[in-house]
Chain A
């Protein structure tokens, strides 16, 4: 499994760029990214994640995946959830408990309706 050269590494990266789709222009699944660093976990992000995974399966959505990520820095608003729908600008939510997490699945992902008063600005540019 070891990568034997720099060229091989570059080839793997180019293949992954399409599938993993970390930037806005992901081609495939809708991604729900939940902050799962110590601050997020302390604020209840695990419960939120479990509830959202459950709601996704309840709603029968098979093109949605849930990803755990690190801390985005908005610790005052943990648990934070980012919704990345292919072709659209990502939307970042703050203070999402289990119930609001389920609402995000039902309203935002299924119906395209954004949740009121929970969107927080993403206050940075990444290089």
Chain B
């Protein structure tokens, strides 16, 4: 172990520091010195442990004992009792409210760790380029059990019992999809994995593919056995070269070990998987467009019915499942469908992976049980709003979703609640917005994306989204009229009702949702020609504060249109008529003398 026999970790996250963790460290070090143990026990400041409401947290290793709500005065007792005598300080241990027992280590605390990793269970734990790592953590055991002991009917029953719903966005029950394909009769059937992940800012699927590719392969083979398919395709976007490389390697290793290919594990079941790379079109994440693309055609949606489960790839029964949906499948068969139903809410079982981004401290990937509230995610796991600003809204579901304002922060998240609030779960993008984000601009940003990605086949999407975008641009340029607000709502609803596929049907969501919850912001843009968040530059002007300006002329040197005037060492002035609002002057000023309002 080296020179220290014990380590005392003190949480130094922003929540705990506000509660004096630095003083706790000072007192601990002093107490250790007084008992002559400063060379045997190390006191370490750490980052956030994530249990902010019970901070300051102190953790002792190697015992793994977890103390909560520690005060600087407690330091001496911790040293004298725990370090010297080996007796835990009972009163500082966490008492779990429902158990009414003291929990000693974090493993005993059910609600401390708000995340439960199912889809991401192996990410960061195993080497994705080594199949032995996957086998060591029960990899391919589920497939083995299924093809030797279970009938396809039994597999589908278990899937239905689990309540697993598609994690790509629509949330359709996976068991029902498989059942429909199993019942369709044909000489060949296909399993397709949708790894296109087109939502900007979403990287849940990428992480599974890069960190645990075998779980997807195993799940596809299980699906193949259930529906009666011997061939699978993974449609993966070409923008994920590392994921492609790891998948190719995983397939090769699995084939070598007889875990894919002909007569898997000595049974009659054979299953092969090939990769098909996307070519950069967001619409190819929609299942019918995806299948057309695999066939070699331009990615354009086709009418449903017939559904892919009846007539899919090359008109054969096909199931299309999302990466995250698939990653949930081996654990369901290893631990049982009943185990899965205990997690989540009544209609939304299991967990969901979210890509937490935006104005939040702990940006990254999280996996939480359905039913977790937005507050728990933003302030518990996410560590709160960056820079201590005010929380304004959360955008969920990417370009197909809407914004949820702060009055709904205690909403438990599941498929139904998000839809009822005018948004949707989508693939799991979650972007946190603060006071400095303009909701009209956000809607415009998403429309710019969908206009670009529209395949053009149907008029409501091809023409309608473009018109929506033009109106939003007009409003953000300070030229909006009141009729525009009426038009946005009407046009948005028409597009939702008449577009051919999900891209068009959900494209108006960002607009309709922000119109609903942030009507005042739209009105300010249109009536007063003001952007309250200070984002839409056409309605803002740059000003130099005379009291702060020392006349150093740094701004005049960077202004591309020479609109700043003044004498050396005297306050300067910006000519707003000539100003093109590039912001170069504000970026250059070292005295915070230039403001935008």
Could you list which residues of chain A lie within 8 angstroms of chain B, going by C-beta atoms?
1-6, 8-10, 12-13, 16-17, 19-20, 22, 33, 35, 37-39, 41, 67-77, 80, 82, 85, 88-89, 94, 110-121, 123-127
Contact = CB atoms under 8 A, between A and B. Distances in A.
Given A75-B365, A127-B121, A37 B265 contact: no
Given A70-B128, A121-B48, 15 more contacts: A17-B136, A69-B123, A69-B125, A70-B124, A72-B123, A73-B365, A75-B364, A77-B47, A113-B2, A113-B3, A114-B4, A123-B114, A124-B115, A126-B117, A127-B118
B363 A33 contact: no
Nearest to B360: A76
B243 to A, nearest CB: 8
Contacts of A71: 123-124, 207, 210-211, 365
Interface of B: 1-4, 7, 9, 11-12, 42, 44-50, 61-62, 64, 107, 113-118, 120-129, 132-133, 135-141, 144-145, 148, 203, 206-207, 210-212, 240, 242, 256-259, 265-266, 331, 335, 361-367, 381
Contacts of B141: 9-10, 13
Nearest to A41: B242
A69 B211 contact: yes
Contact of A75 (B240, B242, B363): B363
B162 to A, nearest CB: 14
A6 B145 contact: yes
Of the listed residues A10, A89, A125, the one surrounded by the most CB atoms of chain B closer than 10 A to its CB is: A125
Contacts of A17: 136
Contacts of B124: 33, 35, 69-73, 80, 82
B1 A76 contact: no
8 contacts: A5-B266, A13-B136, A13-B138, A22-B126, A33-B125, A69-B125, A113-B3, A123-B50
B117 A125 contact: yes
Closest 5 CB pairs of A and B: A70-B211, A112-B2, A2-B258, A72-B124, A124-B115
A121 B115 CA distance: 12
A94 B122 CA distance: 19
A2 B270 CA distance: 13
A5 B49 CA distance: 44
B21 to A, nearest CB: 11
B257 A22 contact: no
B148 A88 contact: no
Given A9-B141, A88-B1, A121-B47, A68 B212 contact: no
A16 B132 contact: yes
Nearest to B212: A70
A6 B265 contact: yes
B2 A111 contact: yes
Contacts, number: 189
A106 to B, nearest CB: 11
B61 A73 contact: no
Contacts of B335: 127
B127 to A, nearest CB: 5
Nearest to B64: A89
Contacts of A77: 47, 364
Contacts of B144: 6, 9-10
A127 B116 contact: yes
A94 B50 CA distance: 14
Nearest to B113: A125
A46 B242 CA distance: 14
B266 A37 contact: no
A75 B107 CA distance: 24
Residue among B47, B117, B132, B331 with the highest chain A CB neighbour number at 10 A = B47
A125 B9 CA distance: 20
B47 A20 contact: no
Contact of B121 (A13, A113, A120, A126): A126
Contact of B116 (A22, A41, A119, A124): A124
A41 B9 CA distance: 29
Nearest to B121: A126
Contacts of B137: 22
B47 A119 contact: yes
A37 B207 CA distance: 7
A17 B132 CA distance: 9
B136 A1 contact: no
Contacts of A74: 362, 364
A81 to B, nearest CB: 11
Nearest to A125: B113
A125 B107 CA distance: 8
Contact of B136 (A20, A75, A118, A125): A20
B210 A37 contact: yes
A111 B242 CA distance: 36
A92 B365 CA distance: 16
A84 B202 CA distance: 30
A119 B123 contact: no
Nearest to B146: A6
A127 B338 CA distance: 15
Contacts of B64: 89
Contacts of A38: 203, 206, 210, 240, 242
Contacts of B116: 124-125, 127
B554 to A, nearest CB: 32
Contact of B211 (A6, A37, A116): A37
Nearest to B241: A38
A98 B120 CA distance: 27
Contact of B127 (A39, A69, A75, A121): A69
Given A20-B133, A70-B211, A73-B207, A9 B265 contact: yes
Nearest to A85: B1
B363 A127 contact: no
Most central of A12, A13, A16, A117 by chain B CB within 10 Å: A13
Contacts of A37: 123, 206-207, 210-211, 242
Contacts of A19: 136
Contacts of B47: 77, 94, 117-121
B123 A4 contact: no
B44 A114 contact: yes
A123 B381 contact: yes
B135 A13 contact: yes
A96 B298 CA distance: 45
Contacts of A120: 46-48
